C-alpha cells in the first residue's frame, strides 16, 4: 500500500529523534514521505549543551503556498513537536488545504511528560493544541498530555477505571481515535491503550527501566507507518510498541550511545511485522 504522507516536526541534525527517525521509519513502511521542518537544531536538547536552533516558523506559509500552487497534496499529515501556537495555526491550515479528500490527520501532541509541560510551553499553547487534536482523526498523547488536553489533574498512580474516565473526557471534547501511550498497571509493565470506534483495547509489554531519548518519536512514526500500511489502529499500536522495545533492547549496554536508540538495526524486523 503506497501513500504520500507529510510529517511536520523539528529536525535535530544529531540525536535520533523527530524527523531523523520519522523519515526513515515511514520510508521503510513504504510511504512516500515529505517533510516540513518546524525548526533545525544542531542536536536535540536532552544532554547536549550549546546546541544551535533555527526557528523556521516564518518559512512554513511560503512552503505550503508553493505546494498549493503546484497542486501537491497528501494522503495523510502527521505532526510531532511544534514549537509555538503560531506553528499550530499553520498546521491547521495545512490540514484544511493540503490533504486529499478523506485524508488522515494524525497528531502527536508532543508538549509534556511526567506531569509537566515542556519548558517552552504554557497554558496558551495547550489551548492552541486542543482544537488541532480534537479536529484530528487520530491523536497519540501520553498520559500527561492527555490530562492537559482533557483538563484533568495528572496522577502518577491510577487504575483502569481512571484511564477509562480520561479517555471518556477526551472523547467528550471531540477526540476520535486515541492511542494513549505509557500506560502501566504494574511496576513491571507498560503499554498502550487504544480507543477506537467506542472500543477500548490495551496492549502491555515489559517495562525497560532505563529510558531512552526519542522513543516517543520512534513509536509515533512506527504507528503511522503501520496504520498507512493497512493495519488497524490497535494492530498498528502493537507493532509500534514491539518495534520500540526492540530498538531499546538493541541500545542497552552501549554507554556511548546515550542520546537515542539504534532504531536502524530493527528496521528489518519492523518491515517483517508489516508483512504479517
Residue 137: predicted pLDDT = 98
| Percent of the chain with pLDDT strictly greater than 90 | 89
pTM confidence score: 0.96
CATH of the domain spanning 4-275: 3.40.1190.20
Average confidence (pLDDT) over 47-56: 93
Q: Which own/partner contact pairs does 236-240 have at CB distance under 8 Å and 24+ positions apart?
A: 237/179, 237/192, 237/194, 237/203, 238/192, 238/203, 239/270, 239/273, 239/274, 240/192
Residue 187: predicted pLDDT = 87
Average confidence (pLDDT) over 132-156: 97
Band of the pLDDT at 209, cuts 50, 70, 90? low
**pLDDT digits 0-9 by tens, 70-96:** 999 999 999 999 999 999 999 999 999
For the chain, give every domain's residue range.
4-275
**pLDDT digits 0-9 by tens, 213-249:** 889 999 999 999 999 999 999 999 999 999 999 999 9
Amino acid at each position: 500500500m503506497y501513500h504520500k504522507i507529510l510529517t511536520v516536526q523539528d529536525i535535530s541534525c544529531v540525536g535520533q529523534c523527530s524527523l531523523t527517525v520519522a523519515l526513515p521509519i515511514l520510508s521503510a513502511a513504504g510511504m512516500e514521505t515529505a517533510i516540513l521542518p518546524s525548526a533545525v537544531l544542531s542536536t536535540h536538547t536532552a544532554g547536549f549543551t550549546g546546541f544551535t536552533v533555527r526557528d523556521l516558523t516564518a518559512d512554513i506559509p511560503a512552503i505550503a503556498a508553493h505546494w498549493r500552487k503546484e497542486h501537491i497534496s497528501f494522503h495523510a499529515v502527521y505532526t510531532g513537536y511544534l514549537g509555538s501556537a503560531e506553528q499550530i495555526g499553520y498546521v491547521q491550515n495545512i490540514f484544511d488545504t493540503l490533504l486529499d479528500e478523506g485524508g488522515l490527520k494524525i497528531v502527536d501532541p508532543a508538549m509534556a511528560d511526567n506531569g509537566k509541560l515542556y519548558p517552552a510551553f504554557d497554558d496558551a499553547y495547550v489551548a492552541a493544541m486542543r482544537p488541532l487534536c480534537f479536529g484530528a482523526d487520530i491523536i497519540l498523547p501520553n498520559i500527561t498530555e492527555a490530562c492537559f488536553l482533557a483538563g484533568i489533574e495528572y496522577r502518577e498512580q491510577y487504575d483502569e477505571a481512571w484511564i477509562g474516565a480520561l479517555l471518556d473526557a477526551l472523547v467528550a471534547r471531540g477526540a476520535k481515535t486515541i492511542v494513549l501511550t505509557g500506560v502501566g498497571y504494574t511496576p513491571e509493565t507498560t503499554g498502550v491503550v487504544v480507543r477506537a470506534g467506542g472500543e477500548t483495547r490495551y496492549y502491555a509489554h515489559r517495562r525497560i527501566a532505563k529510558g531512552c531519548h526519542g522513543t516517543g518519536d520512534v513509536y509515533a512514526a512506527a504507528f503511522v507507518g503501520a496504520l498507512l500500511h493497512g493495519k488497524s489502529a490497535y494492530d498498528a499500536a502493537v507493532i509500534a510498541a514491539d518495534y520500540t522495545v526492540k530498538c531499546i533492547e538493541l541500545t542497552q549496554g552501549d554507554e556511548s550511545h546515550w542520546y537515542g536508540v539504534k532504531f536502524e538495526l530493527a528496521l528489518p524486523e519492523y518491515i517483517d511485522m508489516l508483512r504479517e
